Amino acid sequence: MFDKNATSRTPARPAAQRRGMERRKAILDAAEALLAEQGYEAATLKATGERAGIPIASMYHYFADRYQVDAELLRRHLGELDRLIGLALAEPRAQTLREAVDVMIDLLLDYMRGHRSCTELWFAGRQHATLDELVRAFDEAQAERLWRHLVEQRLVSADTPLLALLLAFEAGTRLFDSAFRRSPAGDDATIDEARRMVTAYLETYGSEATG
């Protein structure tokens, strides 16, 4: 009635799953290290496998191509950024629109400077549609979140359209791209211009409370 070998086979599945998770993590960690140390072009699937100590043939068991690796890493970064932005907006410190813009820009800038792998995926990697879609979706979600926050804090007028924040985020992303092309750490002068341009644009929707 019973399979005598069933008991002996059962532990193998969790062990295999654990090994699989460990290998996936090793691959992602290797790719992140290559991105941080050598840049986007260096983090090929072959180079990542060599760094992780996994044969290229085995790599395809976990990821079909490098873009799946890139996408998973970028999702990890975007998830952490989403968490940090949520914390920043939950305890608002900004008293003016300029200060609110600075909070957002400083948070993104500090994170990118501290995580070059994110910067490489965000900018260089966006030539691939999947990564571009991830960044666009993130920008749109954060633009809506900031729009609600600015209206609630009366830093912009109540009738400010969501489109204004969507465009501000799009412009900001392009200016960040320019800043990180000018310098691996993000060119400060370009970032300052981004602050000026985004703030000046949003100030056209300023509420009476902001003057």
% residues pLDDT > 90 (the chain): 80
Q: Which residues contact 27 (CB under 8 A, 6 or more apart)?
A: 48, 49, 52, 54, 59, 62, 63, 69
Q: Is 191 helix (H, G, I), strand (E, B) or coil?
A: helix
DSSP state of 41: G
The reported pTM is 0.86
Say yes or no to pLDDT of 16 above 80: no
Which residue stretches of the chain are H helix? 6-9, 12-38, 45-52, 56-62, 66-90, 97-114, 116-122, 129-152, 162-182, 188-203
Query: Residue 136's closest CA among 103, 169, 96, 177?
Result: 169
Query: Residue 81's closest CA among 155, 168, 145, 156?
Result: 145
pLDDT band at 188 (very low <50, low <70, confident <90, very high): very high
Higher-confidence residue: 16 or 97? 97
- Please provide the average confidence, as pLDDT, over all residues in the chain: 90
pLDDT tens-digit map of 105-130: 999 999 999 999 999 999 887 788 99
Tokens of 174: 């392009």
pLDDT tens-digit map of 44-74: 999 999 999 999 999 999 999 999 999 999 9
